[in-house]
């Protein structure tokens, strides 16, 4: 069957499924089964077509309606992190790529500008912070800023501050992404100036091995928080086949889901900064003995990077290529046996 005929034959049914949700569990199950059949056919004959992605999106939405009514709470949490969140994120990889490129550009601008204007570092990071760091470097303790005696208070403060920044990037979506871009700009410039300050003193590698123990998860999470703001803005600006209000609701729901799921990552990054980076900073203190060996930093930094890229990029793409619907045959049987 030609694609145009396939669409003409089913478009009225698909539109009804998309615009009017059913409150009847049996009808919802029947709709899901029908969409899975249509999706299988479309993937066989029109694998690169927009209509295939449209059908998959509708099937995934209905799946989540069924899925959220499951009684097994532990299984629900596990499946959410393993399947639901990554598959939700597959729709927004282009937005993530845009956010990542923009943030890297801002970091590069900050580093380049601080190389040509030494006063910029003080104006961006604050003269007090820069003066303290310069003093620490002069006395052979370049990362002494991380040696707060009250590590728990430091942990709580950093976690709350990072969550606040991510929340503001999300709220920035209501300004069509302009405020989100502004926050990414300020954080990118700050990061560029911060790193350039250490490279200018010949401490580039040491700063990476120390700061990026926590910075890997922290910075990637901030980029993801920025993506949540752009997802919200995208739902307002580009409704696609939905009404603008429906598109906004969907975008807001997905963006909020991503934002909330970043909280554990910020907490982990804050733990690393308060306790692990604290120990690593002693490694480069010429007046004290101890600290952590460099290989510990490599393991944590490398492991964090691999995990974040795998979970938010590789794993969602893998799920999508597997058939898009969570090992669909076994899942369908399990869902309907629980909810039928």
Contacts of 133 (CB under 8 A, 6+ apart): 142, 145, 197
Residues whose CB is less than 8 angstroms from the CB of residue 46 and which lie 6 or more positions away in sequence, other chains included: 3, 6, 52
The yes-or-no verdict on residue 19 having pLDDT over 60 is yes
Q: Is the pLDDT at 80 greater than 60, yes or no?
A: yes
Q: Can you list the pairs that 163-169 forms with residues at least 24 positions away whose Cβ atoms lie under 8 Å?
A: 163/262, 163/263, 163/266, 165/222, 165/225, 166/221, 166/222, 166/224, 166/225, 166/228, 166/259, 166/262, 166/266, 167/225, 167/259, 169/222, 169/225, 169/226, 169/228, 169/229
Q: How high is the mean pLDDT of the chain?
A: 84
What pLDDT score was predicted for residue 60?
77
Quickly state the pLDDT bin for 27 (edges 50, 70, 90): confident
Q: What is the tens place of the pLDDT at every residue in 266-292?
A: 999 999 988 888 788 877 766 665 667
Q: Which residue has the higher pLDDT, 95 or 116?
A: 95
Q: Which two tokens stand for residue 40?
A: 């299988």
Report DSSP letters for 278-318, one per residue. HHHHGGG-TT------HHHHHHHHHHHHHHHHIIIIIHHHH
pLDDT tens digits, one per residue of 318-337: 887 775 444 444 444 444 44
Angle between helices 204-237 and 244-261 (to 10 degrees): 160
Q: What is the mean pLDDT of residues 206-225?
A: 93
pLDDT band of residue 110 (cuts 50, 70, 90) is very high
State which H helix or E strand residue 212 sits in.
helix 204-237
Res 69: pLDDT: 52
- The Cα–Cα gap between 258 and 86 comes to 10
Decide if pLDDT at 338 tops 50.
Answer: no
- Give the per-residue pLDDT at 151: 83
Please state, for a pLDDT cut of 90, what percent of the chain lies above it. Answer: 39
* 199 touches 112 (CB < 8 A): no
Residue 310: pLDDT band by 50, 70, 90 thresholds?
Answer: very high
- pLDDT (0 to 100) of residue 337: 44
**pLDDT, tens digit, 9 for 90 and up, residues 127-179:** 898 898 888 888 888 888 887 668 888 889 999 999 999 999 999 999 999 99
Please give the DSSP secondary-structure letter assigned to residue 173.
G
- pLDDT score recorded for residue 159: 92
């Amino acid at each position: 069957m030609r694609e145009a005929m396939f669409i003409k034959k089913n478009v009225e049914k698909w539109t009804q499924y998309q615009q009017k949700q059913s409150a009847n569990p049996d009808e919802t199950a029947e709709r899901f089964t029908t969409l899975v059949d249509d999706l299988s056919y479309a993937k066989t004959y029109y694998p690169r077509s927009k209509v295939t992605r449209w059908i998959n999106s509708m099937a995934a939405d209905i799946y989540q309606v069924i899925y959220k009514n499951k009684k097994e709470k532990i299984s629900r949490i596990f499946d959410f992190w393993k399947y639901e969140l990554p598959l939700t994120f597959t729709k927004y990889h282009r937005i993530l790529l845009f956010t990542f490129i923009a943030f890297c550009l801002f970091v590069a601008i900050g580093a380049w500008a601080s190389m040509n204007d030494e006063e910029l570092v003080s104006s961006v990071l604050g003269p007090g912070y820069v003066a303290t760091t310069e003093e620490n470097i002069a006395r052979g303790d370049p990362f002494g800023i991380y040696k707060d005696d009250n590590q728990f208070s430091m942990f709580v403060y950093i976690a709350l501050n990072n969550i606040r920044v991510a929340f503001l990037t999300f709220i920035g979506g209501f300004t069509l992404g302009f405020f989100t871009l502004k926050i990414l700009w300020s954080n990118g410039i700050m990061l560029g100036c911060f790193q350039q300050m250490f490279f200018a003193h010949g401490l580039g590698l040491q700063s990476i091995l120390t700061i990026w123990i926590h910075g890997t998860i922290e910075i990637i999470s901030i980029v993801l928080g920025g993506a949540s703001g752009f997802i919200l803005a995208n739902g307002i600006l580009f409704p696609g086949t939905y009404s603008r209000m429906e598109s906004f609701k969907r975008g807001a729901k997905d963006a909020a889901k991503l934002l909330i799921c970043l909280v554990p990552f910020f907490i982990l990054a804050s733990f690393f900064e308060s306790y692990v980076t604290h120990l690593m900073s002693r490694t480069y203190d010429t007046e004290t003995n101890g600290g952590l060996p460099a290989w510990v930093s490599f393991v944590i930094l490398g492991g964090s990077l691999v995990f974040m890229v795998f979970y938010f990029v590789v794993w969602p793409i893998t799920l999508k290529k597997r058939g898009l619907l969570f090992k669909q045959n076994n899942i369908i049987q399990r869902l309907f046996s629980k909810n039928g």
